[in-house]
Structure 1
Amino acid sequence: MKLHSQFVMMITHIPIDLISDILSRLPAKTVVCLKIVCKSWYNLISDNDFVNCHLERSLATKTNLHFVVATPKFYLQEYDNLEEPIKQNCPVLYSADFDSLDNPVDLSHPYKNCKTPVRVIGSCRGLLLLRVKCGHLLLYNPTTQTYNVLPLLLENKPATEYVHFDYGFGYDSVSRDYKCVRIMQCLFVETGDVMFEVMVYSLRTNCWKRVPDVPCYFRPHGSDIGVLVNEVCHWVGTGIGNVYEHIVTFNLRDETFSRLPLPNLLQNLQFEILHGLYVGMLDGCLCLSANRYPHCDLWVMKEYGVAGSWTKMFTFGTLASVNLTRPLCYSVDKKRLLLKTSLFRLHCFDLETMKHTELMFADWNRDLDAHVYVENLLMLDYAEFIDDFHVPTSKETRKREEQEEEKDKDQELKII
C-alpha cells in the first residue's frame, strides 16, 4: 500500500498530456488494466477523446490488430416433441494474433454458453456485430468485454420462397455513430413483384428506423454481409435474370442506396459462366473476386467510385475446385495474402511464388470464418455479463418457429 501511494505521488508530477500520449501507444487491453492506478488515470482512460485518440492511432499505425475466428462446435439440441436429439453446429468465437493466428482466446460473448448459433456479420473499428439464430443482434467489444443488445426486429416474411436478409455494419464519422442496416428482399416469382424493407439502427439513439427502399432487386452470391469501404456498405449479386450487372451500395452517412459499375470484362456475365463474383476490401480499397475456372482474378478499384480505376491485381490458379470469396488482409510484411474461400476455409498465398497453403486453426480446417478487428476502449452499455441475460430456450424457440409457420400458412391462404 505504501509503495502504491509513493507511485501515485510520483506520477502526479508528470504532465497529463505526456501521460495521455504514452498510454495511447499501449495495447488497449493493457490500458484497461491501468484504470485502477489512480482516479486521474481512470478519468483519462474513460474519456471519449482519449478513447478515440487511442483508436485512431491504432488504425493509422495498423497496430493492436487481431483476428476473430469462428470454428464449429457440435452439440445435441433437444426438443420436447422429438424422439431423438438433433446435431447442431454452434460456432465458437476466438480472438487470435494478427498475421499468425496464434494464441487463440475463447471470446466470452453473452451467448457463449447458450448452445445458440452465433455469427459475426460485421467488424468495424473494434466492434463486432453478432447475429444469433433466435433473431437477436448485438454489438460486442471483445477488448472491454461489453455489449449492446439491439432492439429486436421481427422478421415478418411474406409467403414466398425467395426471401433473404442482407446486413451491413459500419461507422459514420460525421455523426460519430455506429450503424447497422438490415435489408429484407422478397421476390414473388409468379407476378415478378418485389417487396423491400430497409431498416437502419443507430447506436447513438439505440433504435431502428425505416429508410428508402433498394433501387433494384439483387440476390447476394455467397454472402449476405455488406463489405464496408469508405463508410459505404457494398453487395454484389445477380438480378432476377441471374446476371451480374453492378455493385449495390448503401451510404451510412446519408442512408441512401446507389450503384457502382463492375469492371468492363465482368459486366452482364451469367452466373453459370462466372461461377461466383464476390465483393471485398483489401488495404482500404474495394475489390472483387471473379471466379472463372480454372483460375480466379482479384480486381481492385484503385480510386473509389471511378470505373476506369478497376485493375486486375492477381490471378490465382484453381484452389482444388473451391472459389475465392474474399481477401482478408495482407501480412505485416506484405509478402503474403490471407484469403477466405468457399467451403469455409482459409488460405494463405505467397505473393512471390503464388503458391498457397490451407490454414489450420484450433485443430479445424473447415467451417472457418474470420474477420479483422482492432482493439477499442469503448465501453458499451453492459460492462459485465449478467446471469439473467435471457436467451430463448429450445422449447421457446420451437414454439416461436411453430407460430411463424402458422402465420406463413395463413398468408399463403390469403394469397390463394
Structure 2
Amino acid sequence: MMLTLAHLPIDLITDILSRLPAKTVVCLKIVCKSWCNLISDDYFVNYRLEQSLATKSNLHYVVTVPRFYLQEYDHLPEPREQTCPVHYSADFDSLGNLRELSHPFKDCKTGTRVFGSCRGLLLLHVTDGPLLLYNPTTQTYNVLPGLPVYQDARAYGHLSYGFGYDNATRDFKCVKIMQRLFKEIGYLTCEVMVYSLRTNCWKRVPDVPCYFRSCDWGVGVLVHETLHWVGTNSDGLYEFIVAFNLRDEAFSCRPLPNFHFEPFEGLYVGMLDGCLCLLANRYPHCNVWVMKEYGVGGSWTKMFILDTLDCLIVERPVSYSLDKKRLLVKMALFKLAYHDLETKEHTDLRFADWDTCLNAHVYVENLLMLDYTEFADDIHIRKKRGKEEELEEEKEEGLKLI
C-alpha cells in the first residue's frame, strides 16, 4: 500500500514543518485544511518557536540606519534635510540580504525606534506617537493603548523602556519608566508602568528608588525573565545594576564584579549566550564580564578584553557569530562593528551605503499572528450589528411571505 501525507503521524508532520523556514510554512497552509489548522494552532506556533530558540536556528538581525528626507517648515522658504530611522531585516551572521521591514509606520517621517526584541516580537516606538508590538515574520502588529500618566509628562527628564516575556503566564510585557532627577536638592520623581499583552492594558507598579543613566535610549537588557539597567545615585558617583523581574513585577539590585577599584569611563549591561554581562570601558580597552550563574556575585568572570579604536565606547554586545570567533557589538557614535576574538581585529560595518548604524537586535522567526487591537472593539461591534441586521432582514422576509 502506497503511503500518503494523510498516513503520516501528526507528531512527525509537526516536527518536519517546524524545521522549515517561516515563509515556506505559511505557504503550506494551502496544502490541505488539516495542515492549515495545524500551522495556525497555538501549539504548533509555540512548538516551532521553542525549537528555534533551543537550536538557535531561524535567527535574523534587525538593523536600524538613518535616512534623509525633506522636512518643510512654515518659517523657512525651502525644506531642509532631516533624518529618520529605517529598519532592515538581515540574515544572521552574514548581515547580508537587507530587506526593509514593512511595519505600519515605516512611512512616518518622524521615524520609529526599536526598544526591544523578545521571542520574535519587536517593541517599536513611533516618535511623538504610540508604542506597538510588531512581528516581522508575519508582518502583524498591535498598537498599545494610550498610557495613563499620573503626573505631568513634561516634568520627566528621562525615559527608560523594557520588553520581555513572562513564561509563567505566557505573557509579553512592556515596561516604561519615567524619571526626573533634581540634582540640586537630590529629589527624584519616578513613575513605572507595565503593559500586558494578555490583558491589553497598562498598570502602575511600585517605583524604583534610583536614577537610570541614559544609554542606548534607556532600553533594559532581558536575562532570565528580568530586565536590567545601570542605576546611579543622585550625585552620579556610584553605579550599580538595577533589575526588574517580569513575574513578580518588583525591582532589586544585582551585585557588580570585583573591579579591584579599577576606574572606568562607561559601564553598560548586556547579554551574551543567555548570561548577564557587564561592559567596563576605559580607553583604549573594554573589559567584558559575564555572570556565569545568574544572581551569584561570585560567578562574575572576565571573559575577554576588546580594543576600542577611535576613542569609541562599547555600549552593548549584540551576539556572537555562529562559530563564536567574532562578536558583533554596538558602539558609541552610532557604530556597529565586528570584533575578532582571536586576532583582536576591529571591523566597522556599513548598511545601505551608511557608515552609521543606530542600533541592531537579534530576532527569531515567530508565527504568532497579532491583531491591530485599536479597532478590536469596533470590529466586534460591527460583527454584532451585522448579525442583528441579518436577523432583521430574515424577519422582514418572513413577514412578506406571510
Q: Which interval holds the TM-score relative to the shorter structure? A: 0.7 to 0.9
- The answer on whether the counterparts of 2:160 and 2:212 sit within 8 Å (CA) in structure 1 is no
CA deviations over 1:7-60 (Å, ceiling 9, x no partner): xx9422322222111101112222112112111111101111110000000000
1:406 — aligned with what? none
1:137 — aligned with what? 131
Return the letter of the residue paired with 1:27: P
Q: CA deviation at 1:154?
A: 5.9
Return the letter of the residue paired with 1:165: L
State how far apart, in whole Å, the 1-side matches of 2:357 and 2:259 are: 32
Equivalences, count: 371
Q: CA deviation at 1:222?
A: 4.7
CA deviations over 1:322-347 (Å, ceiling 9, x no partner): 00111111111111111111111111
Q: SS of 2:15's equivalent?
A: helix
Asked if 1:38 corresponds to 2:32, the answer is: yes
Q: SS of 1:21's equivalent?
A: helix
- The answer on whether the counterparts of 2:326 and 2:339 sit within 8 Å (CA) in structure 1 is yes
State how far apart, in whole Å, the 2-side matches of 1:363 and 1:107 are: 17
- The answer on whether the counterparts of 2:210 and 2:232 sit within 8 Å (CA) in structure 1 is no
1:396 — aligned with what? none
Query: In the TM superposition, what are the counterparts of 1:227-238 in structure 2 within 5 Å?
Result: 227-238=221-232
- The answer on whether the counterparts of 1:167 and 1:182 sit within 8 Å (CA) in structure 2 is yes
Query: In the TM superposition, what are the counterparts of 1:223-302 in structure 2 within 5 Å?
Result: 223-265=217-259, 273-302=263-292
CA deviations over 1:288-321 (Å, ceiling 9, x no partner): 1111122111111111101111111111223211
CA deviations over 1:363-391 (Å, ceiling 9, x no partner): 212133110000000000149x9xxxxxx
State how far apart, in whole Å, the 2-side matches of 1:369 and 1:29 are: 26
- The answer on whether the counterparts of 1:128 and 1:140 sit within 8 Å (CA) in structure 2 is yes
Partner residue of 1:112 out of 106, 110, 126: 106
State how far apart, in whole Å, the 1-side matches of 2:358 and 2:153 are: 32
CA deviations over 1:91-146 (Å, ceiling 9, x no partner): 11110000010111111000112223100000000000001112310000000010
* Higher mean C-alpha deviation, range 296-305 or range 24-33: 24-33
Partner residue of 2:313 out of 294, 313, 323: 323
Q: CA deviation at 1:149?
A: 0.2
Asked if 1:172 corresponds to 2:166, the answer is: yes
State how far apart, in whole Å, the 2-side matches of 1:116 and 1:107 are: 16
Q: CA deviation at 1:159?
A: 5.8
Higher alpha-carbon Rg: 2
Return the letter of the residue paired with 1:365: D
Partner residue of 1:128 out of 122, 131, 134: 122
TM-score of the superposition, structure 2-length normalised? Answer: 0.88
Partner residue of 1:189 out of 183, 188, 213: 183
State how far apart, in whole Å, the 2-side matches of 1:356 and 1:26 are: 35
Q: SS of 2:298's equivalent?
A: helix
Return the letter of the residue paired with 1:212: P
State how far apart, in whole Å, the 2-side matches of 1:135 and 1:210 are: 20
- The answer on whether the counterparts of 1:222 and 1:278 sit within 8 Å (CA) in structure 2 is no
State how far apart, in whole Å, the 2-side matches of 1:159 and 1:19 are: 55
Partner residue of 1:12 out of 6, 10, 29: 6
Runs of at least 5 residues in structure 1 that lack an aligned partner in the other structure:
1-8, 386-416
State how far apart, in whole Å, the 1-side matches of 2:229 and 2:97 are: 33
Q: SS of 1:328's equivalent?
A: strand
Identity over aligned residues, as a percent? 68
1:49 — aligned with what? 43
- The answer on whether the counterparts of 2:61 and 2:360 sit within 8 Å (CA) in structure 1 is yes
- The answer on whether the counterparts of 1:275 and 1:291 sit within 8 Å (CA) in structure 2 is yes
TM-score of the superposition, structure 1-length normalised? Answer: 0.85
State how far apart, in whole Å, the 2-side matches of 1:188 and 1:317 are: 36
Change (3 A) 1:367 1:351: closer
Return the letter of the residue paired with 2:320: Y
Asked if 1:359 corresponds to 2:353, the answer is: no
Q: SS of 2:248's equivalent?
A: coil
Return the letter of the residue paired with 1:225: V
- The answer on whether the counterparts of 2:351 and 2:357 sit within 8 Å (CA) in structure 1 is no
State how far apart, in whole Å, the 1-side matches of 2:248 and 2:239 are: 24
State how far apart, in whole Å, the 2-side matches of 1:163 and 1:235 are: 17
Partner residue of 1:304 out of 286, 291, 294: 294
Q: SS of 2:278's equivalent?
A: strand
Structural RMSD (CA): 2.0
Q: SS of 2:13's equivalent?
A: helix
CA deviations over 1:157-213 (Å, ceiling 9, x no partner): 4665x6111000000000000000000112233432211111000000100000111
Q: SS of 2:7's equivalent?
A: coil
- The answer on whether the counterparts of 1:291 and 1:324 sit within 8 Å (CA) in structure 2 is yes
Q: CA deviation at 1:360?
A: 1.7
Asked if 1:345 corresponds to 2:345, the answer is: no
Q: CA deviation at 1:84?
A: 4.1
State how far apart, in whole Å, the 2-side matches of 1:370 and 1:153 are: 26
Q: SS of 1:100's equivalent?
A: coil
Return the letter of the residue paired with 2:143: V
